[in-house]
Structure 1
Amino acid sequence: MRKLKGVVSHHEREITELSADRELAVEYLKAAMESLDNPDDRAAGLLALRTVAEAYGGLAVVAAEAGISRESLYRTLSPKGNPTLKTLLAVLKTVGLRLSVESEPHAHV
């Protein structure tokens, strides 16, 4: 299979756009994190966090700065990953983001 000249993969383009636009990265993660509530769709949120980590330094750099082994981060941010709160917070902090809580629009209190 030959590679087409000037063609960029969707993933590479996504990383480029997310690294160039911080607000886009925030909104991208917000939308993807909603999938974490659904066990059948959890992979989307984990892969989005992985993509943002790639956009903001790469997985090896993020892992080192977060105090996590690279292999552990790859596993944690895989479709079947199950990050601890500590890992999630460390990765978010490393890429310059933080976890926040919002009211559910249709919450019954």
Structure 2
Amino acid sequence: MARKREPFSRYDTADYLKTDRDIAGYLAACSEENDPALMAAALGDVARAKNMSRLSRETGLTREGLYKALSPDGNPSLATTMKVAAALGFKLMLVPASS
């Protein structure tokens, strides 16, 4: 007897980032890992949750460029990261590392 295959949708973090509080907590948790690739991907998750087309208009960057830069394999410049953060309502800050 063949088993019936269950349909599952692909997991996407962006689907769970509903409120500004969710987003702030997610970005804070990701930043604690001190991993540039993770942070770029996290910004990509937030960008998808907030609307990539709108973000493209606000930053002056193409949607395709944003998807590429904010992917786990992306390597966005500091200028791109700052533009994206500002368009999402955040700012980058350097704080002393905990000892």
What runs of 5+ residues in structure 2 fail to find an aligned partner? none
Which residue is 1:17 aligned to? 16
Provide the TM-score with structure 2 as the length reference: 0.78
Please report how far the alpha carbon of residue 98 of structure 1 lies from its aligned counterpart in structure 2 after TM superposition: 1.3
Larger radius of gyration: 2
What whole-Å deviation, never above 9, does each CA across 1:52-109 have from its counterpart, x for those lacking one?
011112x222122111111211111112211111111111111111112222111xxx
Shift of 1:3: 6.9
Instruction: Give SS of 2:30's match.
Output: helix
Question: For 1:3 and 1:68, how far apart are their aligned partners in 2?
Answer: 39
Residue of structure 2 aligned with 1:46, choices 40, 62, 69:
40
Pairing 1:61–2:54 present: yes
Identical-residue share of aligned pairs (%): 31
**After the TM superposition, which parts of structure 1 deviate over 6 Å for at least 4 consecutive aligned residues?**
none
Shift of 1:9: 4.1
Work out the CA distance in 1 between the residues paired with 2:40 and 2:71: 6
| Higher RCO (C-alpha 8 Å, min separation 6) | 2
Q: Give the length in aligned residue pairs.
A: 95
